[in-house]
Amino acid sequence: MAQVRSVITGTGSCLPLRHIPNDAFLEHAFFEGEGQPYPAGETARMVAKFQEITEIAERRYVSEDRVASDLALDAAEKALASAAIDPETLDYLIVAHNFGDVTEGSRQCDQVPTLAARVKARLRIANPFCVAYDLPFGCPGWLQAMIQADYFLRSGDAKRALVIGAETLSRVSDPCDRDSLIYADGAGAVVLEAQAHDEPVGILAHATRTDTLDHGGLLRMGRSFDLDRNDGQLYIKMQGRKLYEYAIATVPGLVRLSLERAGLSLEQVDKVLIHQANGKMDEAILKRLFRLYGMTEMPAGIMPMTVSWLGNSSVATVPTLLDLVVRGQMEGHTLNSGDHVVFASVGAGMSINAMVYRWPSQR
């Protein structure tokens, strides 16, 4: 008997044009902590060590004249074109982000009206019942927006949703903090539609958890490490080692829970699309996931990665990665009818989520 399934029918992404290689930071004055300058002459060694740990060799920054909603609009237009639908038929337009529109030279977050409202207006959507709202949920925000949209679609409340993740972390990172090398800008979007299918396809299951008691401060906002700046602005800060430990301790178990809810085993998974925060961390998460199933060998090519050349664009990493795979722009990676895909993310909160998806056949 046919059931309503939430199916991805279009994807899009926006990759900023400014390529920022690690060498661009060799002349920066970094600090190890508040008021603690990094040892003179050690920057090159630090940058090399950073790449070894994270695998990030370059990242993308937005141009001076653009903000997050510009990137969101670009990704949205591509997703809508890919789905070949009329934007007026959208029931929901959700934008996941954390800092709103931040202009060049300013740290102030502009979130009124919502980025979703801005994108809806610029798409010239007149339909008042296309509900546009933002979702701040740390780096897992886009995936959580997909989970919310799935509930809307399967309930019968909606037929189509446009789900976007957009961020410009380069505008809110402390240039004196070596952790700033991780951050990047970008946007990704998908069109999610309710379709009747006889077989289980589309979103099969998902799971989310938030751990605040001991982990709420691992990612936060704080003042610059260079106390002489004293500009009263707040910058994104993280406790990298503790965040790494939290992620590898919790993400594998949540992925397993989502697979159990879908009635699947790890052997049936064809791709794992995980938040692109740190290459070594993602590898550690995948290895621990396989160990949960008593497996030591991981299939080659199961986890496509973009972090080495795109960096960490927060909510944008997973939808961008998906779009690149769908469009055949990730060498050696494709998605075919019947493939099972696991999406997973981790970020400020601390929150983690996972979603299991089965790629449908083309109609």
Catalytic residue set: 139, 275, 312
**Do 209 and 255 form a contact (C-beta atoms < 8 A)?**
no
Closest to 68 measured CA to CA, from 316, 328, 321, 266: 316
- C-alpha distances out from residue 98 to 22, 81, 335, Å: 25, 26, 30
User: Tokens standing for 252?
Assistant: 């594998």
Closest CA to 177 of 232, 240, 122: 240
Q: Are 314 and 321 in contact (CB under 8 A)?
A: no
* Residue 350: C-alpha distances to residues 32, 209, 247, 266 (Å): 23, 8, 9, 25
Q: Dihedral through CA 185, CA 115, CA 188, CA 270, nearest 10?
A: 120
Q: Which two tokens stand for residue 168?
A: 């410009």
In angstroms and rounded to an integer, the radius of gyration of the C-alpha atoms of the chain is: 20
Tell which residue, 139, 226, 216, has the closest CA to residue 174: 226
